[in-house]
Chain A
Amino acid sequence: MISQEMFFNLFGSQVRQLATANSVSEVDAQRLILIFAEAMKNPYMDERHIYQRLVDMDGAE
């Protein structure tokens, strides 16, 4: 199995790069990373849940 930690770090660095390029705040980038971590841990989190969690980010502001 691939290292989750390694992949998580790779994902995090990619999110930060893209967030900066698209003027998305660091807070939002951090939230994206947390949702990704949640999706990695929870195998039942499907695309609808992921979408909902991403959309709910605005509600959490």
Chain B
Amino acid sequence: MKIEQLKVEHIGCYSGISFKFSDLTVIYGENRSGKSTLIYALYYAMFGKHLNTTLSVPDMCQKGEKFGTATLHFSMQEKICQLWRSTLGTVALSILSEDGVSWNSLVQDPSESLKPYIPIPSDVASLTSFFREGELIYFLKDIPKYNKTLLQQILEMDDIFILQTRFKKAAAISKEKRKDLQPETSAKIPAPLNLAAAQKEVDDLEKEIAVTDAEIKSLSVASGGFSDPQLLIILQRTCDEKKSEIESIEKAKSELPPLADMTRKLEDLIRKNDEIAKSISDANAVYPNPDDLQRQMGSFDQRIRGLKSDIQRLSDMERQPSCHACGQALSPEHLSLLIAERRAQCAELENNRNQLASELTTVQSALQEQKNCKVEMESMQRRIAEIQHWNGKVENLQSRLNQAADELEKAKGTAHDPEIETRSHRIQAIQARRTDLQKRFVDLKLDIQQAEQRATDAENLKEKIRLADRHVLLCDIAYQSMDRAVAALNQSLMDKVRESLQQWAGHFQYLDQFDIEITPKELSPIIQAKGYTYKLNQMSKSERIFLYLMLKLAIGDAMGHLGVFILDDPADGLDAKRQNVMAHLLQEVSRKRQVVVTTNDDRFADMFPQEYRLNL
């Protein structure tokens, strides 16, 4: 394709402007004059995307405007095409009709492919047809590292390598998982022949047990009464147990006093209790309540204290015989009479009180005695109940012992029957055999169950291994495909780049000063000059600028390009001498490929013929 014209409306700083392009177009403008915007508009017109991946399409639209448009006119195979895009996402591709006036619409739907007219993807175009600002500076500063080749560095293949490593690790995980299943494999394969034999043995055992059961049954129900020798043992054991129990009870009973003594003592206590009760009852007839006696004694004490107080007062009055209240004189005889009278009353009261106290003591001791008697009676009654309980138990045990002894005697009697004895021994032998058979039967059943479980486990494991093998295979295919794709990419690009470099080498006159060799597996440019060999990191700045431009163009040939080489300020950071090299090279490139170059450096712009210059 060849770019003829670009019209931009409401994009960046451009409200409405048209640019015409020739084989070499040098766009000069100061900072913020819209050089980069122009490059972005070109890229946007072709691909509907922003060249700067950190920015979005709406960022391109002029502030205050709802949308912006870019219209690109380009020629392709002797046809003039017009590609129109708006920042709202609409697109229209038209082709100029043969009359040279009207346009025939080809594409109006954004989802339709523009591939016949824009033949390469946007990411490839970004690499091969656009030279972004600062790109050269980074290249001049850095040399390939971390095992990357120069080509891989220019192609920015880091993402691919990361993905390749992830697929490799995923394959390793699948192998680890498969390996984890390996140790279980050998241990869990059952022996099918043993299983079949065991099953047959189980069937045989089952039949044999059935036969022994029938035999035991027929022997057990045979006439002749008692047939089970085990019963003898059980009866004998029951008798022994009962005897032993009775003995232990008798021993416990012997430690208690005899029941007759206890009964006699109890009768005495009952009698004594009755007597005490009677005496208390008699006392209660006079003093129904001991508390009344207490109160009465208190009354006596009070009256005695009153009389003693009177006596004391009268004795005091003998020393000064006059009335305290009226002061009338009293005769000593009269006072002595009064004192004597009081003393007599006091003595009588004290006598009565002492009598009452004595009665109270008697009642209290009777009550205490009755209380003790009751406690003793209760204790006695408990012990009697205990003895009676033991006696009852002994009677019960004795009865059961007698019954067991009778049965034992009877069993012993029948056990001596020779026929029964023989039969009993036979039953015992068959039962022992049956027990052995049963045990063997259970063991075998268990073995069979375990074997069947192992067989199921083995089947499951087999299925798991099959799946794990499949996962390993799929992961391996994915990883190997990745590896091969990287290698194929390298190889195909390497071959094409090498071939293209040779063509470009023949094209550049500037190359006369260089002799670049490239190894088969790697783009390792070396320069032969004055008998010395220089590697990439030994090259001069001018040589590296030249090399980079050559590589960009050759990679474009290898991967596909638009036929136009668009450079955004490639002279940035270069001194005059290198700018001159750059300008010279770009003019040589423009003979094979259309070149659009922007710069804010007047000196660099002047290095190109003036007819190619376009000032912003």
Residues in A lying within 8 Å of B, measured CB to CB: 1-7, 10-11, 14-15, 18-19, 22, 24, 28-29, 32, 35-36, 39-40, 43, 45-48, 50-51, 54-55, 57-58
With both beta carbons as reference points, the residue of chain B lying nearest to A3 in the complex is identified as B124
List A contacts of B173 (CB < 8 A): 47-48, 51
| Closest Cβ neighbor of A47 among chain B residues | B169
Measured between beta carbons, the chain A residues less than 8 angstroms from B475 are: 51, 54
A-B contact pairs, 8 of them (CB 8 A): A3-B123, A6-B121, A18-B484, A32-B477, A36-B478, A47-B165, A47-B170, A55-B174
- Is B474 within 8 A of A24, CB to CB? yes
Say if the beta carbon of B470 comes within 8 Å of chain A. Answer: yes
Q: For the complex, what is the distance from the CA of A51 to the CA of B177, rounded to whole Å? A: 11
Expressed in whole angstroms, the Cα–Cα distance for A5 and B126 within the complex equals 14
Name the interface residues of B465-494: CB closer than 8 Å to any CB of A: 467, 470-471, 473-475, 477-478, 480-482, 484-485, 488-489
CB within 8 Å for A58 and B470 given contacts A22-B477, A47-B170, A50-B167: yes
Which residue of B is nearest A14, CB measured? Answer: B481
- A57 vs B174: C-alpha distance in the bound complex, in angstroms? 13
Instruction: Report whether A54 and B478 are in contact in the complex, using a CB–CB cutoff of 8 Å.
Output: yes
Report the nearest B residue to A31, measured CB to CB. B474
CB-based nearest A residue for B152: A2
B497 to chain A, nearest CB (A): 13
A3–B121 CB distance below 8 A: yes
Q: Which of B155-163, B294-302, B368-376, B385-393 contacts A (4 or more CB under 8 A)?
A: B155-163
Report yes or no: A1 in contact with B489, Cβ–Cβ below 8 A: no
Q: Bound complex: CA of A5 vs CA of B113, how far in Å?
A: 15
Binding site for A on B (CB under 8 A): 120-121, 123-124, 126-127, 155-157, 159-160, 162-163, 165-170, 172-174, 467, 470-471, 473-475, 477-478, 480-482, 484-485, 488-489, 559
Which chain A positions have C-beta within 8 A of B127?
1-3
Instruction: Determine the distance from Cα of A3 to Cα of B558 in the docked complex, in whole angstroms.
Output: 12
Cβ-Cβ contact count across A and B, 8 Å cutoff: 108
State A51–B474 Cα separation when bound (angstroms).
10
Q: Is the CB of A15 within 8 A of B159?
A: no
A46 touches B166 (CB 8 A): yes
Q: Nearest 6 CB-CB pairs, A to B?
A: A47-B169, A14-B481, A51-B170, A10-B485, A50-B170, A11-B485
Residue of chain B at shortest CB distance from A11: B485
CB-based nearest B residue for A45? B166
In this complex, which of B127, B165, B477, B480 has the most chain A Cβ atoms within 10 angstroms of its Cβ? B477
Are A2 and B169 in contact, with the CB atoms below 8 A? Answer: no
In the assembled complex, how far is the CB of residue B174 from the closest CB belonging to chain A, in whole angstroms? 6
Which of these, A2, A11, A55, contacts B482 with CB under 8 Å?
A11
17 new A-B contacts, CB < 8 A, other than A10-B485, A36-B478, are A1-B123, A1-B126, A1-B127, A1-B159, A5-B121, A6-B489, A6-B559, A10-B489, A15-B477, A15-B481, A24-B474, A32-B474, A43-B162, A47-B167, A50-B478, A51-B475, A54-B170
- Residues of A within 8 Å of B120, CB to CB, are 3
Given contacts A1-B155, A11-B482, A14-B480, contact A54 B488 (CB under 8 A): no
Q: Which of A10, A39, A47, A57 contacts B474 (CB 8 A)?
A: A57
Q: How far is A43 from B160 in the complex, measured between Cα atoms in Å?
A: 11
Q: Are A32 and B160 in contact (CB under 8 A)?
A: no
Question: For A48, what are the chain B residues with a Cβ–Cβ distance below 8 Å?
Answer: 170, 173
Residues of B within 8 A of A24 (CB): 473-474, 477
Partner of A32, one of B124, B470, B478, B489: B478
In this complex, the member of B155, B172, B474 whose beta carbon has the largest number of chain A beta carbons within 10 angstroms is: B474
- In whole angstroms, what is the CA distance A5 to B559 when docked? 11
- Given known pairs A3-B123, A32-B478, the reply for A54 and B489 (CB within 8 Å) is no
Q: Among the interface residues B120, B167, B174, which one has the most CB atoms of the partner chain A within 10 A? A: B167
